Amino acid sequence: MLDPFFIPKSIAVIGASSNPRKLGYAVLKNLVDGGYAANHSVYPINPRADKILELPVFPTVNSVPDSIDLAVIVIPYPYVPDVLRECGEKQIPAAIVISAGFREAGNVGLERELELIQIAKEYDIRLIGPNCLGVIDTYTPLNASFAAGTPPSGPMSFMSQSGALGTAVLDIALAGRLGLSKFVSLGNKADVDEIDLLLAWQDDPNTRVIMIYSEGMSNGQKFIQVAREVTRKKPVVAIKSGVTQSGSRAVSSHTGSLAGSEQAYQAAFSQAGVIRVNSMDELFAASAAIGYQPSLEGDRIAIITNAGGPGILATDALERAGLSLARFTNETIQKLVQFLPDAASAANPVDVLGDALSDRYQFAIDTVADDANVDGLLVLLTPQAMTEIDQTATAVGELSFKTEKPVLGCFMGEKQVKSGIDILTAYNVPNYSFPVQAAKAFKAMADYRLIRSRPLPEFVQFEVDRESVRDMFNRVRSEDRLSIGDAEARGILQAYGLRIPRSEVAETPEQAIEIASELGYPVVLKIASPDILHKTDVGGVKVGLSNAEDVRDAFELMMYRAQRYVPEARLWGCLVQEMVPSGGSEVLVGMNRDPQFGPLVTFGLGGIYVEALKDVTFRVAPFSREEAHEMLEEIRARALLDGVRGKPPADKEAIIDTLLRIGQLVLDFPEIVELDINPLIVYQQNQGAIAIDMRLILKEELA
Amino acid sequence: MLDPFFIPKSIAVIGASSNPRKLGYAVLKNLVDGGYAANHSVYPINPRADKILELPVFPTVNSVPDSIDLAVIVIPYPYVPDVLRECGEKQIPAAIVISAGFREAGNVGLERELELIQIAKEYDIRLIGPNCLGVIDTYTPLNASFAAGTPPSGPMSFMSQSGALGTAVLDIALAGRLGLSKFVSLGNKADVDEIDLLLAWQDDPNTRVIMIYSEGMSNGQKFIQVAREVTRKKPVVAIKSGVTQSGSRAVSSHTGSLAGSEQAYQAAFSQAGVIRVNSMDELFAASAAIGYQPSLEGDRIAIITNAGGPGILATDALERAGLSLARFTNETIQKLVQFLPDAASAANPVDVLGDALSDRYQFAIDTVADDANVDGLLVLLTPQAMTEIDQTATAVGELSFKTEKPVLGCFMGEKQVKSGIDILTAYNVPNYSFPVQAAKAFKAMADYRLIRSRPLPEFVQFEVDRESVRDMFNRVRSEDRLSIGDAEARGILQAYGLRIPRSEVAETPEQAIEIASELGYPVVLKIASPDILHKTDVGGVKVGLSNAEDVRDAFELMMYRAQRYVPEARLWGCLVQEMVPSGGSEVLVGMNRDPQFGPLVTFGLGGIYVEALKDVTFRVAPFSREEAHEMLEEIRARALLDGVRGKPPADKEAIIDTLLRIGQLVLDFPEIVELDINPLIVYQQNQGAIAIDMRLILKEELA
């Protein structure tokens, strides 16, 4: 429960100061000016002061006669541990540590931070920070931060891993166009992190949209799991920074070289239902629309404008964002035609013309809003000679109160339109300086509609032979190996229910001939030895053997050569393997383990599509059948799976099945750090897929 | 010469009015308030007034005693032609027609506009408009528009096809953060268009950057030709609206279905050296940086910030935009390390920390600006508790005056940072609300550096047999055909120097055998008839004929079948054709004619790359060898041309040669509306390419 951070009954400010240049003064002043102190107890703690900002000062928390819900700690780092212990003795359930000098200051700082965590655990204190700006809840009202003021109330709650970015956001809010419900500067996330706040805010009636600025997640798997549930109730918009840099720290493996933090975040946010934006502008654009306007129940947008040019820009922007222009009913068109001048356009975008006064705007928007084919309205305005800016803004605002559809404004300009935008803001209609931003906002609303309506993912559990894989890994480790291929890898594939070429090890030529006739000719013969890694180098692979004589010849030649070239190798005999049918397509299924989100499963078409075109897609395991299916739809070359140039459609179900089973394998065995099916051959519909081979690498040490 | 529009010695306002609600009043008031009337003669023309705004009124232009340089016409459309004629009689060289009711009002209006054009030609009057907002030159100063005021002076000249969008832009300028040199509302472009203004502004000392808002071009070929020269001297930034809509009006042909207005503009702007932006925000972001700051001479950017988060955001944004982070010299790093606190970062991005006062910022930016490895500076600021916003802004501004490198600001926030941004503006340092916009601005600067430094395109002229193609087209037309393929098409390819499979028509089996032995076995036999389009349907194609007997059999069988199944067909015999070598790659070379820019030549890899992946690129002919080479680099599958999976690199020079020769063909014959080489087979380096066949469609009527 994080309530003590947002609606505490009393607060102690440890390190309160009467020096206006100190943070301990700024925090106390915000508690007073922000309105908290008027109705709650605030206890400044300072051994060397009597009164600060008219409030009586106590030397320690222990000397405060009443109980304390929240401690805000603003003292130099050396004193923080002891003070936190005092808070524990006083049974204070929550503390915001603003002080810096912890994990962000290197190894010594990290040790200090671990000490804090230890103390917090011992006394059961929840902690925000250290190294943070503080916490704001505009509804309590509570401003327990050293921000430059208290922002106006609104529907958005923002958690920021960067306090500095928080100051910029709060400064924008202070200018009046943006209202916040809660603001939390997460700092070093010693205790409270994104997951805790998602859980705390999911049912908060004052929060309509959750905004996240994140630089990294400590528990990616749990984040996905929690956000998946939260985003069904409440929209979450997030920006992740540091993607390109981290992306360059590429992992070494084949699959790994394609993946990076960027891809992991893309997959994780998509699976979690988090609306991802790429800039702070988009974060605001999307959150304002979702926070202030009703939900968008379809993707058909109506544009009303007093000029053609901006109408075309808006059309372009909406189409590019994947939304569609509403097609009005005949009734709407007739009504518009009757009322509007001849030169006006009654089709979407509705052009009310440059000489439109507010009454013409009002008629047009009211008429269009009533149309059942319209899901949302975008009202454009350019400040022309006759334009009644303020009255038009009022008409738009009034409409937004009447209709259940979202209405966004795009009053273009700055000086003349300012008063109009202020009116829109008062009516909770977000305004965008140009159509592109408004289109992105509508896009985020449309995305959220899809997120809200998608089914909860079901994670299938296949019946597999987990034990045999466990045993094999133990055996491999006992032999000091970490890399697995060949027969062992095929054993794993089989244990997890994937089809592999039928094969059996023969110890003698006679046995090989017997197995071959069982499998049916032609067959493949491969030398079977745990000590020969590069079989082809010693002539240890022969394909297309079509009769008993060929099998005998190949067997004996391989034995002879192996003994001659690798005399120290243990020889188990030869593997006799069926030749897989021709005509299939190679696809790639792989996995590498992302440090933040865990097992990242890759899919792509094989060969040049992966190597030259980098046409691959990712999901974090576990994922559902639907999510596996999405992977097949996300690659650029997706049309190839549907069959082109006379090729029949591929067996998509077989690919999905493979992805899901591999997802299960890598969750069952967290010690697998990397894996590649090499290749998976997919046949036409209902003909399945065969995993020819796999390469797999185990973690060096078991955690 | 368009000087009379921008520095007229005297102006007549025809339709001047004393009614403040009329445009004729607004225009006159802007001429007075904007400062023009103070130093020049302004003649209000109105038969029913004496004085307006203290200026004596004349009943007609004829009654004005002095000469007039510019007429601004603000009267209802029916009177415009007569008035324009009067202007002609008075020898007024230039007129701005603000009145609406012309081309934009349908067919009747178009006739009126054609009349205007006729009169203007007759009297040698240059015309801006009709249906426009007017013209502004802040340096003259001249405000001959009905805009809501006169914007501050600055380095940007803006031409807009939408007057309404112009009002929005002027309103933004009026708010004070943006200075304009010239503004022209182009209206219907009856006479003066983008090309005229590019030519007029290319040497204008008051214009450092040209901005264009365009909805469509009337003379795309000439635009490319002129802009190509202008952009070498002066940067041009443009936004084109209506791309997605027009794009959907897809042309019917195979190549055509891939091309659209969007692709044509993309190609044309790239060839013209125009920096293309996709939103009004980017138009401003790019133009302000280019207009106010010195040029960016490399792509190595230094970031200075007082917080880590925004620094990471900026790094992401710069990397995404294709710029690079500067790597400082050791000297710079040592200097920074000495001066900055321990916790600060002396590497790029330089983090001066949240408690940085302006002196620390100043030291960091001055040091970094001196580093030879730095081409441009981005100064980030978040308004933290100790931040000296105004002093830091002054330090940044002072640096920008000293250094020859571009400096952009990103002071984040709104309320507190406002005064700092005002200071930056006074120093001509553009500020961007978030790092993404600043990165896009740097990207535009980097683009312009490349544009300025690229060589003037040279258009090769191959020696070709133009006459034979001319003759063939005449013959085809005389037979009422428009579609050309087969032997005729191969004849065209050969006439333009492209390699085709060797072949000859044989009238008898004996002749066929003789030709085959000359070509060398195996050969292909095809029925030769102008009346059989689908040869395979009548068994009219046989491949891999490897001896005389096979050739004779095939010849006779084809003749028999053709006579039996298509008795009315004219039979010329059989075409004997060499079998082309195997191992080449299919590529697509095509052309379709864009209504605005003319011949749009397409390139892509054949098969699925075109069909399923739409991986194609375009150039408007004529294009240079370098531009043809760019096409090969632009497709996503470009790596395939360099050889993958053991395939050798393809003969790129042969592809380029084909593109250039096809470019010449479609310029020589504007009547070709569509063309596809089907396919072009490209062999490995130095082995050339063979055009197997071509399909070509002629325009219905010769213009």
Is the Cα dihedral A349, A353, A354, A355 positive or negative? negative
CATH architecture of B295-453: 3-Layer(aba) Sandwich (3.40)
B249: confidence class by pLDDT, cuts 50, 70, 90: very low
Q: How far apart are CA A10 and CA A17, in angstroms?
A: 18
CATH architecture of B502-578: 2-Layer Sandwich (3.30)
Ordered DSSP codes for B279-302: SHHHHHHHHHHHHHSPPP-SSEEE
Contacts with B23 from chain A: Cβ below 8 Å: 385
What is the percentage of chain B residues whose pLDDT exceeds 70? 96
Task: Output the pLDDT for position B63.
Answer: 96
Q: How far apart are CA A208 and CA A201, in angstroms?
A: 9
Question: Which of A637-651, A676-690, B69-83, B647-661 has the least mean pLDDT?
Answer: A637-651
pLDDT at B261 over 80: no
Tell me the HSE value of A211 on the side-chain side, using a 13 A CA sphere.
Answer: 35
What is the percentage of chain A residues whose pLDDT exceeds 90? 73
CATH architecture of A289-453: 3-Layer(aba) Sandwich (3.40)
**Spatial contact of A279 and B434, defined as CB atoms under 8 Å apart:** yes
Identify residue B240 by its one-letter amino acid code: K
Mean pLDDT, rounded, for B26-36: 96
B168·A413 Cβ contact <8 A: yes
Mean pLDDT, rounded, for A586-591: 93
Mean pLDDT, rounded, for A211-235: 93
Which chain B residue has its CA at the smallest distance from A309's CA? B162
pLDDT at A256 over 50: no
A168·B412 Cβ contact <8 A: yes
DSSP, collapsed to helix, strand or coil, labels residue B56 as: strand
A667: confidence class by pLDDT, cuts 50, 70, 90: very high
Q: Report the DSSP pairing between strands A585-594 and A70-73.
A: unpaired
A213: confidence class by pLDDT, cuts 50, 70, 90: very high
B607·A309 Cβ contact <8 A: no
- Supply the mean pLDDT for chain B: 91
Q: How far apart are CA B289 and CA A672, in angstroms?
A: 50
Tell me the fold of B3-207. Rossmann fold (3.40.50)
Q: How far apart are CA B55 and CA B28, in angstroms?
A: 10
A615: confidence class by pLDDT, cuts 50, 70, 90: confident
Locus of tokens 């240059």: B126
Task: Output the pLDDT for position B218.
Answer: 80
Candidates B203, B268, B202, B205; CA nearest to B236 is B202
Class of domain B585-698: alpha beta
Q: How far apart are CA A112 and CA A224, in angstroms?
A: 30
**Spatial contact of B486 and B652, defined as CB atoms under 8 Å apart:** no
Which runs of E-coded beta strand occur in B119-179? 126-128, 134-137, 142-145, 153-160
A479-500 pLDDT tens trace: 888 989 877 898 999 999 999 9
DSSP, collapsed to helix, strand or coil, labels residue B507 as: coil
Task: Output the pLDDT for position B246.
Answer: 32
**Closest-CA distance of chain B to residue A510, Å:** 38
- Among A381, A416, A586, the strongest candidate for a mutation testing the B interface, having the largest count of B CBs within 10 A, is A416
Q: How far apart are CA B259 and CA A119, in angstroms?
A: 67
**Closest-CA distance of chain B to residue A414, Å:** 5
**Spatial contact of A162 and B309, defined as CB atoms under 8 Å apart:** yes
B415-424 pLDDT tens trace: 999 999 999 9
Instruction: Say yes or no: do domains B3-207 and B295-453 share a fold.
Output: yes
A408-429 pLDDT tens trace: 999 999 999 999 999 999 999 9
Whether residue B141 has a cis bond before it, omega within 30° of 0: yes
A325-342 pLDDT tens trace: 999 999 999 999 999 998
Q: Is the ipTM of this complex over 0.90?
A: no
pLDDT at B514 over 90: yes
Which runs of E-coded beta strand occur in B366-511? 376-381, 407-411, 483-484, 503-506
Task: Output the pLDDT for position B534.
Answer: 73
Whether residue B522 has a cis bond before it, omega within 30° of 0: yes
Residue A603 is inside which H or E element, if any? strand A598-605
pLDDT at A174 over 80: yes
Contacts with B607 from chain A: Cβ below 8 Å: 645
Per-residue b/e over B666-680, b at no fewer than 16 CB within 10 Å? bebbebbbbbbbbbb
Locus of tokens 């023009």: B36
Q: How far apart are CA A104 and CA B345, in angstroms?
A: 12
pLDDT at B376 over 60: yes
Region class of A273: left (phi > 0), else alpha (psi between -120 and 50), else beta: left
B165·A309 Cβ contact <8 A: yes
Region class of B337: left (phi > 0), else alpha (psi between -120 and 50), else beta: alpha
Mean pLDDT, rounded, for B158-177: 90
Task: Output the pLDDT for position B702.
Answer: 58
**Spatial contact of A569 and A531, defined as CB atoms under 8 Å apart:** yes
Q: What is the CA radius of gyration of chain B?
A: 32
pLDDT at B22 over 80: yes
Task: Output the pLDDT for position B332.
Answer: 97
Contacts with A637 from chain B: Cβ below 8 Å: 608, 612-613
Task: Output the pLDDT for position B567.
Answer: 87
Task: Output the pLDDT for position A1.
Answer: 76
Q: What is the CA radius of gyration of chain A?
A: 32
Which chain B residue has its CA at the smallest distance from A240's CA? B313
Task: Output the pLDDT for position B254.
Answer: 29
Which chain B residue has its CA at the smallest distance from A316's CA? B244
Q: How far apart are CA A541 and CA A533, in angstroms?
A: 12
A466-578: in CATH 3.30.1490.20? yes
Task: Output the pLDDT for position A702.
Answer: 58
B560-590 pLDDT tens trace: 888 888 888 888 899 999 988 888 888 999 9
Task: Output the pLDDT for position B247.
Answer: 31
Give A451-516 as a 3 state SS string. Answer: HHHCCCCCCCCCCCCHHHHHHHHHHHHHCCCCEECHHHHHHHHHHCCCCCCCEEEECCHHHHHHHH
Task: Output the pLDDT for position B703.
Answer: 52
Contacts with A317 from chain B: Cβ below 8 Å: 279
A611·B645 Cβ contact <8 A: yes
Locus of tokens 């891993």: A161
Q: How far apart are CA B604 and CA B613, in angstroms?
A: 10
Between A246 and B686, the higher pLDDT residue:
B686
B645: confidence class by pLDDT, cuts 50, 70, 90: low
**Spatial contact of A182 and A137, defined as CB atoms under 8 Å apart:** yes
DSSP, collapsed to helix, strand or coil, labels residue B365 as: helix
Is the Cα dihedral A317, A323, A327, A332 positive or negative? negative
What is the percentage of chain B residues whose pLDDT exceeds 90? 73
Locus of tokens 């099945």: A657
A148·B243 Cβ contact <8 A: no
A92-118 pLDDT tens trace: 999 999 999 998 888 889 999 999 999
Mean pLDDT, rounded, for A685-693: 91
DSSP, collapsed to helix, strand or coil, labels residue A305 as: strand
- Among A27, A241, A283, A315, the strongest candidate for a mutation testing the B interface, having the largest count of B CBs within 10 A, is A241
End-to-end distance of chain B based on CA atoms, in angstroms?
A: 31
B71: confidence class by pLDDT, cuts 50, 70, 90: very high
Which chain B residue has its CA at the smallest distance from A313's CA? B241
**Closest-CA distance of chain A to residue B167, Å:** 6
Ordered DSSP codes for B591-654: EEEETTTEEEEEEEESTHHHHTT--EEEEESS--HHHHHHHHHHSGGGGGGG--TTPPPB-HHH
Question: What is the domain partition of chain B in residue ranges?
Answer: 3-207, 295-453, 502-578, 585-698
The number of C-beta contacts closer than 8 angstroms across A and B is: 228
**Closest-CA distance of chain B to residue A179, Å:** 14
**Closest-CA distance of chain B to residue A176, Å:** 9
